Amino acid sequence: MHLSTDLDRYHALRTRDGRAEGRFFYAVATTGVYCRPTCAARLPRPENVAFYRTSQEAEAAGFRPCKRCRPRELPHAQRLAQVVEAARRLLESSEAPPRLAALAARVGLSAHYLHRLFKKQVGMTPRQYAAARRLARFGAELRDGSDVTTAIYAAGYSSSSRFYEAESGALGMLPAEVARGGRGVEMRATVARCSLGRVLVAATARGVSAIAFGDSDAVLLEELRARFPHALIRSSDAALDALATRVVQMVDDDSAGVAGDLPLDLMGTAFQQKVWRALRDIPRGATASYADVARAIGAPGAVRAVGTACGKNPVAVAVPCHRVVRQDGALGGYRWGLARKQALLAKERDRG
């Protein structure tokens, strides 16, 4: 946007172009008042307008601030951004995350408005942000050499049971565990037959950490070992066999309700976790575009990043990345092959 001449500035004033905010102020000789460029006051005649770079310059020239647009204050969007930033800092500095109502009172907004504004600007709710920060502190404590119990309390959890209650049912194998290539992690793995070929299912004590399609048992197991080279990967047991049976049901029978309560133990960045949660909200038999998912998580400009997160999804079907397609309806990509993606979608459409 060019504002190098008075003609440019007057055009921005006439159209109330928000991009001009903070770049100039205008004063009106007939009223003795100066305003911000988006002021809703009646448009003055160009011969009565003078432009100033700062509010101080306008006041030094003898003009008083408009009571309507309050040019001494920050623009509305900047004030809201500052409020969200203040809320974010409070969440990061609090050992125990404050309740939404208390947080909203601290920053001077209603709880409902803060919740909506925070999610729009940050991409997650205050509660989700606090949980992600607390889990990150836990991982940092482990990397610094703390034992698990010490790290749990240092991160702000009131007890080890509260930690596992809060984190083990969500998408969250610990960052430190993955950074160490799974060192200290014990998981069991099995490969079963399904209508799409062979399917590997691997799980820790907290839940399923991998579901992958392939044509070779040996290749599927080798790929799992490459992802977690230091994990202790054991053969299947009765509990994993039961999980694998449920996974095969999801693939072959498309059983409603099976995926919703399947326990997951996944590692991803905060952004990837947001995407994966959004994928689980896409109804069976429906599809969404990458742009739809980006809007759903409050990040409409992150379409490409959404595609990357879909490609890194480690659990086929349970996190249904196969339901994400291009804007024009084309299938797009799929980690386990487009033929499998097409088959899954066809099965879901047929069974509604």
* Element at 188 (helix H, strand E): strand 186-194
Give how far Cα 138 sits from Cα of 39, 153, 160, 177, 179, Å.
48, 9, 12, 11, 14
CB neighbours of 292 closer than 8 A, spacing ≥ 6?
none
39, 69, 310, 321: which is the annotated catalytic residue? 321
| Pair of tokens at residue 15 | 């159209």
- Asked if 321 is an active-site residue, the reply is yes
What gap in Å lies between CA 326 and CA 319, rounded to an integer?
18
| Pair of tokens at residue 153 | 């309390």
Largest CA distance in the chain: 86
DSSP 194: E
What gap in Å lies between CA 137 and CA 151, rounded to an integer?
8
- Asked if 310 is an active-site residue, the reply is no
Look-up of token digits 């942000």: 129
What gap in Å lies between CA 208 and CA 191, rounded to an integer?
13
| Pair of tokens at residue 25 | 């102020």
Give how far Cα 120 sits from Cα of 79, 84, 113, 289, 295, Å.
15, 10, 11, 19, 10
Mode of pairing for the β-strands spanning 64-65 and 25-28 = unpaired
What gap in Å lies between CA 192 and CA 249, rounded to an integer?
11
Which residue numbers are catalytic? 35, 321
